């Protein structure tokens, strides 16, 4: 069926049923993609976006991970903080943009802070959830064995919470990618795929817009696959055996 | 291939684990009634911190206006009617977009859930569409539809359509085969099977999708209003940003948060009610 859609699109633009200027055509998109690949503009934009995405994700995810653990382990902190965090989560993500751009400037800091914020909440939520679901029996055994707190976290809680944690990281990465595109739209004058698409829109270059969409989708898809594969790596298997 | 568990992350039941020995437990004598009060401690502290920071002029007012100024901006927004009219516009857009997206998602998801052939035919295309995030559709749709009302409604509808379709399909697929068999044995008509067996069993998942969809709808609307709009709550925010009216911005942000919270709470209540009514399904 995707092939049929592509064919229909190609045929319709070929015979002029759809205006090529508005709808572009598969050939044009491919051509544009090829030339963007050759002159390196696509690679440069992709690199800028990915770097931004990963830095923001790393910051947001580590913050979310640590706070999630703290909340799960210290019920008092949880009772105090959770409602506030939950309320903050309800603010539609992009409503933060105007603030961040005012407080941190329109440059890279603002963008990265925004991406980090996007990754922060899903990671926090799922770490919290996972660490709370740890079997109380395992913790009891660890206590009887006299494990030190940091060893308890490392050897019991993190391995047990891993599935939920990986879900959180994957979600965080999805949101971070979304935020990267959003940040490139909303923060003025920048590089990256999002900026490329917005520029293309202003120039009425539908082929480039569609190319951008395809790249954004493909990158999101690959990041997603990458992290879900990572979750199944044998590397983690050993950790799942509780000492 | 696509793991769909991610949209269900906050509908999972929460298990409380016993606090480990080294934790700071909530004081044992603390009555349960006080717990809701504890939730307000941090916001209150934040408010005090905010107030004192502005009081001693630690940061310039253009960067962080004092709480009192925000309250004044808020009442001015209400007095002029700007807030209500723009909020109404935004809510209207969410309403239409959500309605269209949810209906399409329910229909499409049901078709995919009931018919394997249809699912096999359209699933790849659907997944391709779903993989491209709402934001990446934005420039495309802006070129096709302009920046009028249609753009907002289509974009919001798309953000609702994907999760609702996924959860509807998953919900229908999750109906235990034994139940369907029982319905056949009892000679239920198709309609009765749908109403008495399939819907109750699929409802919790289905509703989870709607809830998730509404959260996304609100987010998508705010983005599109920030980027391409001349009215609505997001536009009001970007407009005040351009005028450096931080007090107005803070007030609007609180409104955006409150609306999101309200949507989520209302649907969470609905979900809890459904779980009570049809609990134990699947």
> Cα–Cα distance between A95 and A182 in angstroms, integer?
11
| Contact assignment for B21 to A91 by CB distance below 8 Å | no
Mean pLDDT by 10 residues, chain B (282 residues): 42 43 48 69 83 78 80 88 90 94 92 86 82 85 85 92 90 84 83 80 84 89 86 87 84 89 87 74 42
| Contact assignment for A220 to B2 by CB distance below 8 Å | no
Q: In angstroms, what separates the C-alpha of A134 from chain B's closest C-alpha?
A: 7
Count residue pairs from A and B with Cβ separation < 8 A. Answer: 186
**A57-73 pLDDT per residue, tens:** 999 999 999 998 888 88
For CA atoms B20, B21, B25, B31, give the dihedral sign: positive
The domain made up of A49-190 has a fold known as MetI-like fold (1.10.3720)
> Cα–Cα distance between B149 and B142 in angstroms, integer?
11
Residue B242, domain CATH: 1.10.3720.10
> Cα–Cα distance between A234 and A196 in angstroms, integer?
39
Locate the chain A residue with the closest alpha carbon to B62: A102
A47 touching B, CB under 8 A?
no
Structural domain contains residue B177: yes
**B182-240 pLDDT per residue, tens:** 888 888 887 888 777 888 888 888 888 898 899 889 988 988 888 888 888 888 888 88
Sorted by sequence, the CB contacts under 8 Å of residue A233 that are 6+ apart come out as none
| ipTM score of complex | 0.76
Task: Give the domain ranges of chain A.
Answer: 49-190
A9 touching B, CB under 8 A?
no
Number of domains in chain B: 1
Specify the length of chain B in residues: 282
How many H helices and E strands in chain A?
A: 13, 0
pTM above 0.80, yes or no: no
| Contact assignment for A209 to B140 by CB distance below 8 Å | yes
- Cβ-Cβ contacts under 8 Å, A170 against chain B: 3, 6
**Domain coverage including residue B246:** 81-278
Q: In angstroms, what separates the C-alpha of A146 from chain B's closest C-alpha?
A: 11
Neighbours of A218 (CB within 10 A): 13
């Amino acid at each position: 069926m995707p092939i049929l859609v592509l064919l229909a699109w190609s045929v319709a633009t070929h015979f002029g049923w759809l205006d090529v200027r508005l709808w572009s055509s598969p050939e044009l998109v491919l051509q544009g993609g090829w030339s963007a690949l050759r002159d390196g503009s696509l690679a440069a934009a992709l690199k800028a976006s990915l770097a931004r995405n990963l830095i923001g994700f790393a910051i947001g995810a580590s913050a979310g991970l640590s706070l999630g653990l703290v909340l799960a382990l210290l019920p008092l902190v949880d009772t105090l903080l959770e409602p506030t965090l939950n309320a903050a989560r309800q603010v539609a993500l992009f409503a933060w943009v105007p603030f961040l751009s005012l407080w941190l400037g329109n440059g890279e800091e603002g963008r990265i802070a925004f991406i980090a914020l996007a990754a922060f909440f899903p990671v926090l939520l799922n770490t919290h959830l996972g660490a709370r679901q740890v079997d109380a029996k395992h913790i009891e055994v660890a206590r009887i064995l006299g494990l030190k707190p940091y060893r308890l976290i490392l050897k019991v809680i993190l391995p047990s919470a891993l599935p939920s944690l990986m879900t959180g990281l994957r979600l965080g990465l999805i949101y971070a990618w979304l935020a990267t595109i959003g940040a490139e739209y909303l923060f003025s004058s920048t590089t990256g795929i999002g900026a490329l698409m917005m520029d293309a829109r202003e120039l009425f270059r539908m082929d480039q817009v569609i190319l951008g969409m395809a790249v954004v989708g493909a990158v999101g898809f690959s990041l997603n696959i990458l992290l879900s594969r990572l979750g199944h790596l044998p590397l983690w298997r050993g950790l799942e055996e509780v000492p | 291939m696509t793991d769909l568990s991610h949209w269900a992350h906050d509908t999972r039941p929460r298990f409380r684990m016993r606090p480990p020995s080294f934790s700071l437990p909530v004081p044992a004598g603390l009555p349960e009634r006080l717990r809701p009060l504890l939730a307000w401690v941090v916001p209150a502290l934040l408010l005090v911190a905010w107030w004192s920071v502005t009081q001693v002029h630690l940061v310039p007012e253009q960067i962080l206006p004092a709480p009192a100024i925000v309250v004044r901006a808020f009442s001015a927004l209400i007095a002029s009617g700007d807030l209500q009219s723009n909020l109404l516009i935004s809510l209207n857009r969410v309403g239409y977009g959500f309605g269209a997206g949810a209906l399409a998602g329910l229909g499409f998801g049901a078709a995919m859930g009931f018919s394997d052939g249809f699912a096999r035919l359209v699933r790849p295309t659907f997944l391709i569409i779903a993989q491209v995030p709402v934001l990446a559709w934005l420039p495309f749709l802006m070129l096709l539809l302009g920046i009028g009302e249609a753009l907002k409604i289509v974009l919001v509808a798309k953000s609702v359509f994907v999760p609702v379709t996924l959860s509807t399909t998953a919900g229908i697929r999750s109906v235990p085969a034994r139940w369907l068999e029982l319905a056949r044995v009892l000679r239920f008509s198709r309609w009765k099977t749908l109403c008495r067996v399939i819907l109750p069993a699929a409802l919790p998942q289905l509703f989870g999708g709607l809830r998730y969809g509404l959260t996304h709808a609100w987010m998508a609307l705010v983005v599109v209003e920030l980027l391409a709009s001349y009215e609505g709550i997001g536009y009001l925010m970007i407009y005040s940003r351009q005028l450096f009216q931080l007090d107005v911005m803070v007030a609007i942000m609180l409104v955006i948060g409150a609306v999101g919270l309200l949507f989520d709470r209302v649907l969470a209540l609905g979900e809890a009610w459904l779980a009570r009514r049809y609990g134990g399904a699947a």
